């Protein structure tokens, strides 16, 4: 009877430990998700990023596990490794907790406290002005030479200005995101 009572007591303790470990894992998971949600909510431009990274990471890992050929054919993640990978994906941006909001909350790539695309735009205005000055100098030189034909130079000048404008427009268009 004493042996049965001792074994029953040990079984009860083991069951309680399993339950405590499961509760601890559940608490850890909830804490990770709360932190990830808080980070995602810091900026409307990155909202949902952590969830998307986690989903994509797990899709890639499952695909690797199902692959029978190629460079990943020898790779097979265990259940524990998949769980570790999932937690790592949830936590990959945890460092953003201490990152200033003006760095995280950016709608454009070249932006900090002010939108740096304006610096790029100013540089293009300078390039455009240099092209204008060079063309004006060419016109002055041609004025001294009555036989000079500026038609080709005018076409090249217009093409150059159009290319400068097009390049700036491209940079501005890809600066979002």
> Is residue 74 a contact partner of residue 38, using CB atoms and an 8 Å limit?
no
Phi, psi of 103 (to 5 degrees): -85, -45
- For the stretch 99-124, pLDDT in tens is 777 666 666 555 555 667 888 999 99
Specify the pLDDT at position 21.
96
CA 129 – CA 53 distance, rounded (Å): 45
**Model pTM score:** 0.53
Phi, psi of 68 (to 5 degrees): -105, -5
Give residues with Cβ within 8 angstroms of 159, minimum separation 6. Answer: none
- For the stretch 42-96, pLDDT in tens is 777 777 888 999 999 999 999 999 998 999 999 999 999 999 999 999 999 888 8
Give residues with Cβ within 8 angstroms of 148, minimum separation 6. Answer: 141, 142
CA 93 – CA 48 distance, rounded (Å): 12
> Is residue 65 a contact partner of residue 77, using CB atoms and an 8 Å limit?
yes
- For the stretch 14-35, pLDDT in tens is 999 999 999 999 999 999 989 8
CA 133 – CA 80 distance, rounded (Å): 68
């Amino acid at each position: 009877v004493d042996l049965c009572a001792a074994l029953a007591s040990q079984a009860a303790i083991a069951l309680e430990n399993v339950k405590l470990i499961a509760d601890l894992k559940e608490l850890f998971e909830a804490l990770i998700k709360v932190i990830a949600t808080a980070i995602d909510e810091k900026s409307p431009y990155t909202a949902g990023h952590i969830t998307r990274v986690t989903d994509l990471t797990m899709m890639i890992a499952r695909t690797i596990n199902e692959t029978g050929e190629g460079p990943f054919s020898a790779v097979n993640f265990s259940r524990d490794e998949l769980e570790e990978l999932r937690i790592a994906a949830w936590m990959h941006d945890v460092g953003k907790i201490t990152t200033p909001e003006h760095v995280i909350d950016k709608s454009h790539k070249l932006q900090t406290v002010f939108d740096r695309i304006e610096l790029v735009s100013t540089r293009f205005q300078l390039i455009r002005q240099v092209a204008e000055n060079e063309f004006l100098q060419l016109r002055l030189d041609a004025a001294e030479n009555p036989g000079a034909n500026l038609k080709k130079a005018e076409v090249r000048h217009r093409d150059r200005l159009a290319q400068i404008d097009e390049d700036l427009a491209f940079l501005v268009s890809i600066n979002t995101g």
